[in-house]
Structure 1
C-alpha cells in the first residue's frame, strides 16, 4: 500500500451552496428544480409508501467503502476526468492500483451496528440508507456475482461473523424501528463489462463501443440486474432502492439540452428491475436519480435546498461534513446548522437526507455523534412541528419558517442567528385559522399572549424568555384553533 494515498484527498467534492445565518447557518435557498417531467410511481403500494416516506422528514445516508479506509472522497479518484485531483500521485495507474488494494486492509472491527442504530434513532432519524456499493464496484455485502467484495474469503473482514455489513446495518436499523433503504451505484468501474481492460478508461462511462460490442454491454446489464435482485431478495424488508450514477440511462431519457451527440445508449432495463424488485418488496420506493420517467419516485437535489415548494416528493441530500464518506479533519455542521437546515427543507415540503460516514474501523467521529445528539434533543421537544407536517403559505419570511398539521394547527419556527442576544418581543405569524386560538411555546407548553393584526397574529414573547430563547436552535410557536 502506498502510504501517500492515506494522506491524499483523491477528490475535492464541489460544495455548491453558500451559508448565510452564522449560528446554524442556513443553506442558500436558490435551487430551481424543474419537476415537469416527474411521473411518480404507478404501483399503488409504492404510492402509499411514498406518502408515509414524506412524513418521515429526516433520514441518513451512510457512505462506507474502500474510501473509508483511505480517508478520501469516495471513489471518484478512479474517474479519469479533468476535474478530479489525486494529490500525491503523478500517474493514474498507481492511484487506481493503490485504491483497489485498500480492500486488503479494510477491516472495520469496531463497527457496532446496534450502537449506530440507537444513535440515529436518538437523533430523530426516521429512515436510513446504506451504500451497498459505490461507483468503484466494491460491494459492502455478500454478492454472489463478484469477488470484489468485503466478504471475499481472502480479505480480513470476511472472518467476522457480521462480514456482510449491509445485512448487519439494515437488520440493526429495523430493530430500532427505522425504515431502511439501499444505495446502489449503477455504473461499476471495476467490472470488465463496464470498463474493459482492453481499453483505458476515458471518463465515467463505458470505455468501449456498445454498438460494436453489444454482448459485453448485455453482460453488464445482466450483472446489474442480478445484483439488484439479490439486494431486494436477501436483505429483509427494504423500503427504498436509491440508485446513483444517473448517467447510466437510455438515450430516450437524455434531454436535447443535455447533448445526445456522442452519448451511448446505457439502458439497463429499469422497467424489468423495478417490476422484479417490487414482486419481492411490495411498496418499494425506487429512486433512479436524475433520470426523468417512471422510476424516479422522488427528486433528490444534492447539497441544495429548493427555492420554493414543488407539488412532487423531494429530498435534499446534504453532507454533514464536506464529503459523503469519512475524511480526516473534516469540518462538520453543528447541531444548530442541521436543525435550521432541516427546518428550511421541511417548510418547503421536502425531506433531509443527511450524509455521514464512518472511518475504516467502523467508527463515527465524536463531532458527528455530538451533532446528532444535539439534533435529537431538539426534535424530542419540537418534533411535532417537523414530522408529518405540510408546507403552508408563506413558507418562510426572514428567520421565520412555517409548517402545518391538519386544518387547525400552524407552527411558526423562529431561527435565531448567532448575533442575536434576544429574540424579538413580537413575532408576527401569518394565520388563516378560524375560531378561538391557543398559542403556546411548543417546547414547554407555555401559553403566549397575542393580538390580531392584518393577515395574522402578533405573538408576545415574555421579556424574561427572550435572551434564553435566542440561544436555542429554533423556537417553535404552536397556533391551534379550537
Structure 2
C-alpha cells in the first residue's frame, strides 16, 4: 500500500509539472497583465523546448549601461541599501553630503538624478564602433525605480528625476544602430534589499529614530513627494527577514530561502506586471534577471510566467520565429535548456555545450568615484583576456561601463574603451561568429581547476593570465589562437598543434598574425613554433589565424 501511495505521489508531481498545475506558495495574479498564450507554458517541461537563437551564439560581445539614480552620490553599487547601514562608508558619505537617513533617504536622491548630459545616440554609436554586437539598458535596479514610463510604478524616470523615458530612448538608439536591445530587471529583490531602511541608529544623537523606510503616503503632506507613497519604492510594510540586522544575511537569502520574509502576492504581481509592461512596450531581444534561476522561484510561478509570456510575445512579433534570450543565474543542467545561463564576474573552466554569458564590469556596477580616483578600472588588456577566454568556452561577454549621474563616462573609461576598440577592429574576426575548438586553450590556468563561487566571481584568476595562456576559436575552416598577453620571447609555442598531436592531425599551410600578415613557423614534436615579428603590432594580445 505504501509503495502504491509513493508511486501515485510521484506520478502526480510529474503530471503537475507537465501541466502547470504545481502549487506555488504565492501564485501571481494575471488580473492586470495576462500572460500571452502560445507554444510555451509556464512549466520547465514546456520551457525546455527553447532553442538559443543563432544571432546570440554569434554575437560574443555586448555592452551594458548599468545606470540609474544610484550613480548620483558616486559611492558605488548598492548605495541605496548601504546608506542605511550605520557606520558604513556609504552611510558616512550620505550623512555628510545629504543628511541623516531618518530625514533624507534614497527617495530624496532620485530628484537629483537629472541625466543632463546623457546622449544615448552618441553612446550607442560608440559601443557599436568598439565592437558591441548587442546592447543592454537597466530597466530597474534593486532600488525599485523604473527607468521608463511605467504603468505600475509611480516612482519612475518620467514622473521624477530626468523626467524622460530612458528605456524608450535607449531602445531608439539601439534600433538605429541595428544592435539587439536588452533590458535588465533587478527590482524583485527590493523586498529584502531595502530592509535596512527599517532600521535606526544605535549610537549618537539620533539613536532610536527610525530611518525613512517605513514612511507612508500620508507622511508626504507638504513635501516634494506629496502624493507618492514611499512604500511603492521601499516596499517595507512587512516583517524583517531572519537575521536582517546582519548586513551579509541577504546573500544567504537571495534565493528566498534561509529565513527570507516571503513576499506578498501584491508585491510579486506588481513586479510581474511591470516586467510584462516593459516587454510589451519595447520588445526587447534579451532580458536579464539578477536572480537565482528566475524571479521569485520557487516560491511563486511569476518567473516562469514571465518566461512563457516573453517567448510567446517574441514569436508573435517575429512571425513565429523565436529570437529572444532570457538569462538566469545558478541554473542546473535542465534549467539551462529553458534559459541562458549567466555567470557574474567569472567563467566556468571548461567548454559549455549551450551558449552562455558572463556579465562583468570595468569598475563597480554603479559609478564609484573612489574606483576612478585610485585607478581601479580594468584595463583594456584585462577586458580582452576575459573576452577571449569566455568566447573560447562558448560564452558571450556582457560588459558594463559605468556612467556618471549626468549620463557620461569619465576620461579614464573613455581611454579604456578606445584601446579595447582598437584591438577589436583588428582582431574581432577571431571573436565574432566563431565557435569553440576541440579544447578551449592551453597554459597553467587552462590546465588547472578554477572553481566558481556561487554565481561566478572567479574572474580574478583569468585577469592574471600571461603569455603562457593561449585560447582557441574556429570559423570557416580557420583556427584562431590568441595569446592572452604579448610575449616577450621571439617565438610562440602552441603545444596543442604539435606534430602528431591528434587534436590537429592535418597539415598547417599558413599562419597569419592579424594586423600584420604572414609569419614563419615550424612544426615539431614540441609544438607549432611561430616566429614573432620584430615590431609589436598591438599592446594587448596577438591573434594568429591558422590554415
TM-score scaled by structure 2? 0.67
| Match 1:448 to one of 507, 519, 529 | 519
1:313 corresponds to 2:355: yes
SS of the residue aligned with 2:237? coil
Residue 271 (structure 1) aligns with: 304
Q: Distance in 1 between the 2:335 and 2:386 partners?
A: 30
Residues 281-324 of structure 1, C-alpha deviation per residue, up to 9 Å, x if partnerless? Answer: 22221113335464762222212232222223222211101x11
Equivalent pair of 2:77/2:368 in contact (CA under 8 Å) = no
Q: 1:429 to 1:411 in 2, by over 3 A?
A: farther
1:47 corresponds to 2:45: no
Q: Where does 1:399-418 land on structure 2 (aligned, <5 Å)? A: 399=467, 400-406=469-475, 408-416=477-485
SS of the residue aligned with 1:272? helix
Q: Distance in 1 between the 2:280 and 2:184 partners?
A: 15
Residue 17 (structure 1) aligns with: none
Structure 2, unaligned stretches of length 5 or more? 1-43, 192-229, 316-321, 444-466, 498-503
Residue 166 (structure 1) aligns with: 167
Q: 1:82 to 1:345 in 2, by over 3 A?
A: farther
1:242 corresponds to 2:311: no
Larger helix percent: 2
Q: Distance in 1 between the 2:288 and 2:107 partners?
A: 24
Tell me which structure has the larger Cα radius of gyration.
Answer: 2
Residue 425 (structure 1) aligns with: 491
Residue 181 (structure 1) aligns with: 182
Q: Where does 1:7-406 land on structure 2 (aligned, <5 Å)? A: 42=47, 47-49=51-53, 51-75=54-78, 77-78=80-81, 86-88=90-92, 94=101, 97-152=104-159, 155-158=160-163, 163-185=164-186, 186-189=188-191, 195-197=235-237, 199=239, 202=244, 204=250, 217-235=264-282, 237-246=283-292, 252=298, 265=299, 267-282=300-315, 283=322, 284-290=324-330, 292=332, 294=335, 297-321=339-363, 323-330=364-371, 331-398=376-443, 399=467, 400-406=469-475
Equivalent pair of 1:71/1:327 in contact (CA under 8 Å) = yes
Residue 18 (structure 1) aligns with: none
Q: Distance in 1 between the 2:46 and 2:513 partners?
A: 39
Q: 1:197 to 1:40 in 2, by over 3 A?
A: same
Residues 242-265 of structure 1, C-alpha deviation per residue, up to 9 Å, x if partnerless? Answer: 01233875675xxxxxxxxxxxx3
User: What is the CA-CA distance between 1:93 and the residue it aligns to?
Assistant: 7.7
1:439 corresponds to 2:511: yes
Q: Distance in 2 between the 1:136 and 1:392 partners?
A: 42
Q: Distance in 2 between the 1:173 and 1:100 partners?
A: 30
Q: 1:248 to 1:379 in 2, by over 3 A?
A: closer
Equivalent pair of 1:128/1:173 in contact (CA under 8 Å) = yes
Equivalent pair of 1:117/1:176 in contact (CA under 8 Å) = yes
Q: Distance in 2 between the 1:405 and 1:40 partners?
A: 33
SS of the residue aligned with 2:358? strand
SS of the residue aligned with 2:109? helix
Residue 257 (structure 1) aligns with: none
Equivalent pair of 2:64/2:137 in contact (CA under 8 Å) = yes
User: What is the CA-CA distance between 1:423 and the residue it aligns to?
Assistant: 3.5
Indicate the structure whose relative CO is greater, using CA pairs within 8 Å and at least 6 residues apart.
1
User: What is the CA-CA distance between 1:396 and the residue it aligns to?
Assistant: 2.4
SS of the residue aligned with 2:308? helix
Q: 1:326 to 1:285 in 2, by over 3 A?
A: same
Equivalent pair of 2:152/2:270 in contact (CA under 8 Å) = yes
Residues 356-402 of structure 1, C-alpha deviation per residue, up to 9 Å, x if partnerless? Answer: 22111111111222211111111111111111222224422233423
Residues 204-243 of structure 1, C-alpha deviation per residue, up to 9 Å, x if partnerless? Answer: 579x99x9x99x71112221221111111111x4111101
Structure 1, unaligned stretches of length 5 or more? 1-38, 253-264
Equivalent pair of 2:287/2:325 in contact (CA under 8 Å) = yes
Root-mean-square deviation over aligned CA pairs:
3.4
TM-score scaled by structure 1? 0.75
Q: Distance in 2 between the 1:278 and 1:297 partners?
A: 11
Q: Distance in 2 between the 1:40 and 1:130 partners?
A: 30
Q: 1:376 to 1:227 in 2, by over 3 A?
A: same
